[in-house]
Chain A
Amino acid sequence: MKKMYLSLVAGAGMLFSVQTTTLAQGDYPTLSQVTQRLQAISGSGSAAKLSSLTKTEGGKDIWVLKIGKGEMDNKPAIAVVGGAEGFHVLSVELAVQFAERLVKEHSQVLDNTTFYIFPNMSPDAYEQYHASLKYERRGNASNVDHDRDGRVSEDGYEDLNKDGLITLMRVASPMGDYMPLDTDERIMVKADRSKGDKGGYMVYPESRDNDKDGKFGEDPVEGIAFNRNLTYKFPIFTPLAGDFAVSQKEGRALLDYLFEQWNIFAFVTFSPANNLSSPLKYNAQDAKKRIVTSMLEKDVAINSMVSGIYNNTVSQKAFNQTNQGTDGDFFQWAYFHFGRLSFGTPGWWVPEVKGEDGKANANAEANFLAWAAEQGMNDVFVPWTGITHPDFPGQTVEVGGIKPFVMHNPPYSMVNDIAKEHTDFIIQLAEMAPKMEFHNLETEKLGNGLTRITVDLFNNSPLPTHSEMGAKSRWLRKVRVDINKEAKDLISGDKIKLIDKLEAYENISLSWIVKGPGSVEIKAGTAHTGIVTLNVKL
């Protein structure tokens, strides 16, 4: 009997492992699969070190992989962030695959660059992708009263048609302001009353009005969204944002950690915001206000240059990429409040499908359905089906719509190529990091034991050491030059010199007159530019 149990267990285990492998290849990973892969990347002898910054309200780890060699903290670093939005499961996979490919295929880049990879900032919400009830979730596991009526999460989504998915519901009503799209009747669009369109349907998320306030699904069972809870343009007191910025454990833990990593010069965030397909725009008025809300002029030029590299590396052509940041998000925080170069991309978007008339689909959902049909994806839409809805007795109510996740995350089989291209892009960005070099060293004997040392400090990089915003921020250190001579032996020149900024390919001439024989060491740079040392024989 005992034996039978054992073999059963073993059998189950085998079955399980086979299934895990199939799953890993067929679909986006579960949280535990992500953790296993992170542990595999950071196994013994790896350049990657895995640590947990905190656990979320839902008890999930916020992981960081720090990858580098040697004096990691004094090499310029890139931070890669995934899972800014929980429903954007692709972003987690892109961050994890970047780490895997970096360690396996591009480890030479670690000689000069350090990486911080935060694969998933929304693990509580991410879990909804694999849950029995699937919906595009943004919030973590905190208890939040989104509609601020004194009742917490009383009006969440409800799976009325029991298909395990939250889609939409439409209620036939002469007062309804929605109507089917003429080119694809499955899609509901707002009636254009200025054109005399009548409507005919009310459209809501699949839900009930439990608190009878006339609103549906307005207080869902989820908490604060990481990507709405940061300080830049924080949308205070709005749903998913809450009462104050950085109120959640994961946000605090991330920021506390970042404020101690002085070597980060750039962020790459995989989230819906995109400034890589095309750069942010410069608005002189907004850039000059006390509260700056436009990327500064010189930084737009950097953004433009990096965007060019992105478009040469990533094959997909931009389409419908209008999101260049939303209030309280991470991508904008990294630039506007942390002073670092910040680049963002969703990694993938629904490609443009032209109709028979050769014109693009103006409606994004119609475009998606056309693309899905081209791809032979037949399982992306829940056909409108009638249900009885207790809040609309006697009325025609149907549930249906595009399935959750599919418009933001491509079929898993497409991810490898996307990840490879984005890895190549980040590697190119790493190679552009600010780089301190000494050139044209001259030592002149002035007699009586005095030597004049002259040397150029050169930033051998297409990027400045400090972006225009970075130069304003105290969270980027200045470039520091040290000479290891006692003050009494330093006839002229600074023992410690702080330089605010070196532009791309700029050089600065340094000189000292020192007393005595021997040698001196000159050191220049700072954590996010790398530090170089020069030994000078006197």
Chain B
Amino acid sequence: MKIKNWIYTAALGAAISFTGINTVSAQVAQERYFRAIGTPHNPKVQVSWNRYHTNLALEEIMKDMAKQHPNLVRLESIGKSYQGNDIWVLTVTDFNAGKAEDKPAMWIDGNIHSNEIQGTEFTLYTAWYLTEMYGDLDFITELLKDKTFYIAPTINPDAHDYFIKEANTQNSPRSGMIVLDNDGDGLAGEDPFNDLNKDGHITMMIRKSPTGRFIKDKMDPRKLIPVAADQQGEYEMLGYEGYDVDGDGQVNEDGIGYYDPNRDWAWNWQPDYIQRGAWKYPFSVPENRAVMEFVMKHPNIAAAQSYHNYGGMILRGPGAEEDLNTYNASDVRVYDAIAKKGEEFMPGYRYLVVYKDLYSVFGGQLDWFYGGRGIFTYSNELMTSYLYFHQNAGRGNQDEQMKVDTYLTFGDAFVNWEEYDHPQYGRIEIGGFKKNFGRLHPGFLMEQDAHRNSAFTILHGYHTPKLSVSEVKEKDLGGGLREITATVYNERLIPTHSSQDLKYKIERPNHISISGANVVAGFVVENEDFNKLKEQKVNPEKLEVDNIPGMGAVKVRWIVSGGRNFSIDVDSVKGGKASWKK
């Protein structure tokens, strides 16, 4: 047997056996699973959406997606983090239906803040859902033919794993892994939290004290409750687990980070004394720089979503009152239309404006996406206590949280108080809620919320522009001249150019071109009924149209001679392409 033949036979055999396996697995599924509406019940990529994944697991899942869906998923590293981890982006589209970069695109990222890791799972869920439902559902199939989704599960991989693997509070770290000098003493990171009881969580320190203002609740001794003004307490609060490492009389005052990656973006960036958490200049955080470079290289991104926690919010800018006039009425109408729909199918989530409903942010990511690039962008604050009991008990409500841990998580969320000999405080007790409770979803609430938020980004992505040449009229003007009037329609809510884009000319105008005829003159039609035209004297065969509004149309006109079989092409950076041929 010749070696070539052998290889061929082996490959054939492997191919057969692979097909065999697929068939078998489909049969296995048919024997065992029945579809729950809305969820791929026999996915090619198996993922459990009720746990958190480390970078290692994320990479495996993403590589598997690219392998199982070669015509729908491409995986690329858009740069390295501070510690040299890859920042992965999944490009999800039907690659057989046009180039990814020619279609209007939706950018989705998660985990800019290190401890806010459910955004990573939610973005990944979106990629998984889209690819597994492609071919099953006409809506999704059509969507991936029309649009491109750029999905970055974590744009902060270093601290993503640091939060998971090292001892942390629910709130730490917010930044990536660059260590700065938080207290101005000339040393960086010299006094971080200390996991005194070595349980992987930074919880609270309390101490018995005659002047303490708290007691342990007799009904539930995990709870520390304040005493009345005229009563003696038993315990004082000492703060998060740690000791004074450098001997300056302060505890936990200089850990990793300090900077805030979400104050590092180039729209109305302000320095630290104005905007706490800003670092050197816009994009001084390497992970953000990688995202910025990707966005600059993909001007087809017309919509964007970033995920944070906590609070159940759909946020839009402006981040600061100073930027109020950045958002004008026509863009706000688009924002409102999509987000108000989102509120309806995301119970517990409210549509809010950052500067007035939350707090002021200069140099935030969503402000750069919109202000700096003209991209319609939301930032969702994931998880809200509403999801526990469908009540608005408020953030960090101790009674409610204890109830959750008693009746739903059965003690998984809390580290019980235990005594500890502290080098500076003496005998103390350490305990409290774990880092993965409170701001993060418990497993049993994750898949549902991931799905609802994905549905929101799908709605958003769906409403990026969709252009078509909807009507072409010809009129004989005599003398061998004809007048051709074409209507270009945008079938979706989002315009090809936001008003911010138009104001600053961020992206070039749309091009509407005619070929196959001799163009004598070209016009943008401002009012067809009364023949109000704006002539483009230079290069009239390629008309420059500033904007094609959402759910609206523009008309253009050419006076041509000759060329009976002309064609019309529309080329919009954010709106995609369309063509018409006689």
Contacts and interface: CB of A to CB of B under 8 A. Distances in A.
A236 B270 CA distance: 14
Contacts of A337: 271
B282 A231 contact: yes
Contacts of B509: 150
13 contacts: A149-B508, A230-B281, A244-B266, A290-B274, A290-B360, A291-B270, A291-B274, A291-B322, A474-B273, A478-B184, A478-B185, A496-B247, A498-B248
Nearest to A473: B273
Interface in A202-236: 211-213, 230-231, 234, 236
B248 A150 contact: no
B538 A245 contact: no
A230 B296 CA distance: 20
B186 A494 contact: no
B249 interface: yes
Interface string B256-289: 0000000000110111111000001111100000
A495 B538 contact: no
Contacts of A243: 266, 296, 372, 506
Given A149-B505, A231-B271, A495-B248, A244 B282 contact: yes
Nearest to B276: A474
Interface in A284-327: 290-292
Interface in A367-410: none
A214 to B, nearest CB: 10
A526 interface: yes
A245 B273 CA distance: 18
A16 interface: no
B538 A494 contact: no
A527 B186 contact: yes
Interface string A448-485: 00000000000000000000010011111110100000
Interface string A143-154: 000001110000
A252 B249 contact: no
Contacts, number: 97
Contact of B280 (A259, A292, A480): A259
Contacts of A339: 273
A237 B274 contact: no
A476 B186 CA distance: 9
A256 interface: yes
Contacts of B271: 231, 336-338, 473
A474 B272 CA distance: 7
Contacts of A259: 280
A126 to B, nearest CB: 23
B281 A252 contact: yes
Contacts of B273: 339, 469, 472-474
Interface residues of A, number: 44
Contacts of B274: 290-292
A473 B273 CA distance: 6
Nearest to B368: A244
A231 B272 CA distance: 12
B447 interface: no
A32 to B, nearest CB: 31
Contacts of A496: 185, 246-249
B322 A477 contact: no
Interface of B: 181, 183-186, 246-249, 266-267, 269-274, 280-284, 292, 296, 322, 360, 368, 372, 504-506, 508-509, 537-538
Interface in A258-279: 259, 262
Given A148-B505, A246-B281, A255-B280, A495 B270 contact: no
Contacts of A213: 538
Given A149-B508, A237-B505, A477 B185 contact: yes
Interface of A is mostly: loop
Given A149-B505, A290-B274, A498-B184, A231 B249 contact: no
Nearest to A234: B269
B338 to A, nearest CB: 26
A76 B190 CA distance: 24
A458 B280 CA distance: 32
A236 B505 contact: no
A337 B284 CA distance: 14
Given A212-B537, A237-B505, A231 B281 contact: yes
A436 B266 CA distance: 39
Contacts of A291: 270, 274, 322
Interface of A: 148-150, 211-213, 230-231, 234, 236-237, 243-246, 251-252, 255-256, 259, 262, 290-292, 336-339, 469, 472-478, 480, 487, 494-496, 498, 526-527
Contacts of A256: 280, 284
A263 to B, nearest CB: 11
A97 B127 CA distance: 61
Nearest to B249: A494
Contacts of A487: 247
A211 B372 contact: no
A473 B181 CA distance: 13
Contact of B281 (A236, A245, A473): A245
A13 B273 CA distance: 57
A470 to B, nearest CB: 10
A337 B271 CA distance: 6
Contacts of A251: 281
A302 to B, nearest CB: 18
Given A212-B538, A245-B269, A291-B322, A494 B508 contact: no
Nearest to A258: B280
Given A148-B505, A237-B504, A339-B273, A498 B281 contact: no
B186 A526 contact: yes
Contacts of A527: 186
Contacts of A495: 247-249
Contacts of A476: 184
A82 to B, nearest CB: 21
B538 A211 contact: yes
B272 A148 contact: no
B183 A498 contact: yes
A385 B183 CA distance: 66
Nearest to B362: A291
Contacts of B538: 211-213
Contacts of A211: 538
B462 to A, nearest CB: 28
Contacts of B505: 148-149, 237
Given A245-B269, A246-B281, A477 B184 contact: yes
The 7 closest A-B pairs by CB, nearest first: A150-B508, A244-B266, A148-B505, A246-B281, A496-B248, A472-B273, A212-B538
B44 to A, nearest CB: 40
Contacts of B292: 244
A210 B119 CA distance: 49
A108 to B, nearest CB: 28
A411 B120 CA distance: 63
A337 B282 CA distance: 12
Nearest to A471: B273
Nearest to A472: B273
A248 to B, nearest CB: 11
Nearest to B360: A290
A498 B185 contact: yes
Nearest to B322: A291
B574 to A, nearest CB: 13
Nearest to B539: A212
A47 to B, nearest CB: 25
A88 B538 CA distance: 38
B248 A244 contact: no
Contacts of B183: 498
Q: Which of B181, B271, B282, B296 gathers the greatest number of chain A CB atoms within 10 Å? A: B271
Contact of B372 (A148, A244, A480): A244
Given A231-B281, A259-B280, A480 B186 contact: yes
B282 A246 contact: yes
Contacts of A469: 273
A149 B281 CA distance: 27
B417 to A, nearest CB: 28
Contacts of B186: 262, 477, 480, 526-527
